[in-house]
Structure 1
Amino acid sequence: MRGTIGGVQRMSADVARRIALGAQGFTDLRPAAATRRHLQRVLSRVQLLQIDSVNVAVRAHYMPLFSRLGSYEPSLLDEAAWTHSVRKPRLLVETWAHEASLVPVADWPLFHSGAKKRGWWQNYQTILERSPQLVDEVLAAVKELGPIGAGALEKALMGDRGRAKGPWWDWSEVKRICEVLFGVGVLTTGTRRSFERLYDLTERVIPPDVLAQRWTADSGARELVLRSAVALGVATEPDLRDYYRLDPRRSQAAVASLVEDGVLEPVAVEGWKATGYRHVEAKAPRRVVGRALLCPFDPLIWERARTERIFGFRYRIEIYVPEPRRVHGYYVFPFLLDGALVARVDIKADRAAGVLRVQSAWAEEGADRPRVAVELAAELRHMADWLGLEDVLVVQKGDLAAELIAAVLTG
Structure 2
Amino acid sequence: MPATVSFSLKQARRLALAAQGFNGRQPPTVKAAHVNRLIERLGLLQIDSVNAVVRSHYLPLFSRLGAYSADLLDQAAWSSGRRRTLFEYWGHEASLLPLSMYPLMAWRMQRARRGEDIYQQLAKFGREQQDVVRRVLSSVEEQGALGAGSLSTREDKAGPWWDWSAEKHALEWLFAAGEVTVAGRRGFERLYDLPERVIPSSILQQALPDEAEAQRELLLHAVQALGVGTEKDLRDYFRLNPADARPRLAELVEAGQLQRCEVAGWLQIAYCLPEPKVPRKVVASALLSPFDSLIWERSRTERLFDFRYRLEIYTPQDKRVYGYYVLPFLHNERIAARVDLRSERAAGQLAVHAVHEEEPGLDEEGMLALALNLRQMADWLGLTRVQLNCPRESAARLRVALAEIGGV
Give the TM-score band, short-chain normalised: over 0.9
Aligned residue number for residue 174 of structure 1 = 167
Q: CA deviation at 1:114?
A: 3.9
| 3-state secondary structure, aligned to 2:361 | coil
Alpha-carbon distance in structure 1 between the residues aligned to 2:275 and 2:43:
16
Alpha-carbon distance in structure 2 between the residues aligned to 1:162 and 1:398:
53
Aligned residue number for residue 16 of structure 1 = 12
Alpha-carbon distance in structure 2 between the residues aligned to 1:124 and 1:368:
48
Q: 1:27 aligns with which of 23, 28, 42?
A: 23
Alpha-carbon distance in structure 2 between the residues aligned to 1:259 and 1:399:
50
Q: Within the alignment, does 1:409 sit opposite 2:407 as a pair?
A: no
Structure 2 matches for 1:107-186, cutoff 5 A? 107-114=101-108, 118-119=116-117, 121-154=119-152, 158=153, 162=155, 164-186=157-179
Q: CA deviation at 1:120?
A: 5.2
Give yes or no for contact 2:126–2:170 (8 Å, CA) kept in 1.
no
Number of matched pairs: 400
| 3-state secondary structure, aligned to 2:327 | strand
Higher mean C-alpha deviation, range 103-112 or range 204-213: 204-213
Give yes or no for contact 2:136–2:171 (8 Å, CA) kept in 1.
yes
1:97 to 1:391, Cα distance in 2 relative to 1, 3 A: same
Q: CA deviation at 1:121?
A: 3.9
Structure 2 matches for 1:2-401, cutoff 5 A? 8-85=4-81, 88-114=82-108, 118-119=116-117, 121-154=119-152, 158=153, 162=155, 164-212=157-205, 213-280=207-274, 282-398=276-392, 400-401=394-395
1:18 to 1:7, Cα distance in 2 relative to 1, 3 A: closer
Alpha-carbon distance in structure 1 between the residues aligned to 2:202 and 2:212:
21
1:166 to 1:34, Cα distance in 2 relative to 1, 3 A: farther
Alpha-carbon distance in structure 1 between the residues aligned to 2:48 and 2:3:
43
- 1:223-262 Cα shifts (integer Å, max 9, x gaps): 1111101101111010000000002111111111111111
| 3-state secondary structure, aligned to 1:189 | strand
Alpha-carbon distance in structure 2 between the residues aligned to 1:150 and 1:336:
39
Higher mean C-alpha deviation, range 381-390 or range 164-173: 164-173
Q: CA deviation at 1:166?
A: 4.1
Give yes or no for contact 2:22–2:282 (8 Å, CA) kept in 1.
yes
Q: CA deviation at 1:398?
A: 4.3
Once the two structures are aligned, what percentage of the paired residues are identical? 47
Q: Give the aligned residue type for 1:78.
A: D
Give yes or no for contact 2:158–2:169 (8 Å, CA) kept in 1.
no
Alpha-carbon distance in structure 1 between the residues aligned to 2:200 and 2:4:
44
Q: CA deviation at 1:164?
A: 3.1
| 3-state secondary structure, aligned to 1:361 | strand
| 3-state secondary structure, aligned to 2:315 | coil
Q: Give the aligned residue type for 1:50.
A: Q
| 3-state secondary structure, aligned to 1:62 | helix
Kindly report the root-mean-square deviation, in angstroms, between the aligned alpha carbons of the 2 structures.
1.8
Q: CA deviation at 1:129?
A: 2.3
Structure 2 residues without counterparts, runs of 5 or longer: none
Q: CA deviation at 1:119?
A: 3.8
Give yes or no for contact 2:2–2:260 (8 Å, CA) kept in 1.
no
Alpha-carbon distance in structure 1 between the residues aligned to 2:161 and 2:181:
19
Give yes or no for contact 1:191–1:198 (8 Å, CA) kept in 2.
yes
Give yes or no for contact 1:363–1:399 (8 Å, CA) kept in 2.
no
Give yes or no for contact 2:3–2:260 (8 Å, CA) kept in 1.
no
Q: Give the aligned residue type for 1:52.
A: D
| 3-state secondary structure, aligned to 2:359 | coil
- 1:52-102 Cα shifts (integer Å, max 9, x gaps): 0000001011000000000000000000010122xx341000000000000
Q: CA deviation at 1:384?
A: 0.2
Alpha-carbon distance in structure 1 between the residues aligned to 2:292 and 2:29:
22
Q: Give the aligned residue type for 2:56.
A: A
| 3-state secondary structure, aligned to 1:409 | helix
Q: Give the aligned residue type for 1:319.
A: I
Give yes or no for contact 1:142–1:199 (8 Å, CA) kept in 2.
yes
Structure 1 residues without counterparts, runs of 5 or longer: none
